[in-house]
Amino acid sequence: MKVNYTMPNGRVSVELEGNEQKEIFEKMASFHEVFSESLCGLCNGENIYPLVREVEENMFYEMGCRDCGARLAYGVHKRGGSLFPKRKDENGKYDVKNRGWKKYQKKVE
């Protein structure tokens, strides 16, 4: 069974395939969680883009904002290797205000 799924923001669409409804639903949920961002969590700008970089053989997945330079980092599930947005702050609490978007601030000593 195949399903065409378009994000509510209309920015991305995909064809998903599965043997049953539950499998397709799980794929839709995973896809939606990763690609649902349409605005920067700091400046509310629409000029966001996916970014992948490699540092010392480690891959980092992020959404970036070209307007203010903020980024939303994605983690990788240990099982299955799918992505998820990192929305918690340094204290392990959900970042409700910025939805996980952060801007790098160089620490001054």
Domains of the chain: total: 2
d(CA 23, CA 99): 27
Give yes or no: residues 50 and 66 share one domain. yes
3-state secondary structure of 14: strand
Q: 3 with 28: CB under 8 angstroms?
A: yes
Give yes or no: residues 49 and 100 share one domain. yes
Domain range for 32: 1-36
Give yes or no: residues 59 and 23 share one domain. no
Residue 82 included in any domain = yes
Give yes or no: residues 60 and 11 share one domain. no
Per-residue pLDDT band at 106 (split at 50, 70, 90): confident
Give yes or no: residues 68 and 84 share one domain. yes
pLDDT surpassing 90 at residue 7: no
Give yes or no: residues 51 and 32 share one domain. no
Cα atoms found within 13 Å of the Cα of residue 21, Cβ hemisphere only: 0
Residue 109 included in any domain = no
d(CA 16, CA 18): 7
Q: Could you tell me the strand order of the sheet in which 48-55 lies? A: 48-55, 58-65, 71-76, 83-85
| 26-67 pLDDT tens trace | 999 999 998 889 899 999 999 999 999 999 999 999 999 999
Q: Residue range 80-91: average pLDDT?
A: 90
Residue 28 included in any domain = yes
CA distances from 61 to 52, 85, 103 (A): 5, 9, 15
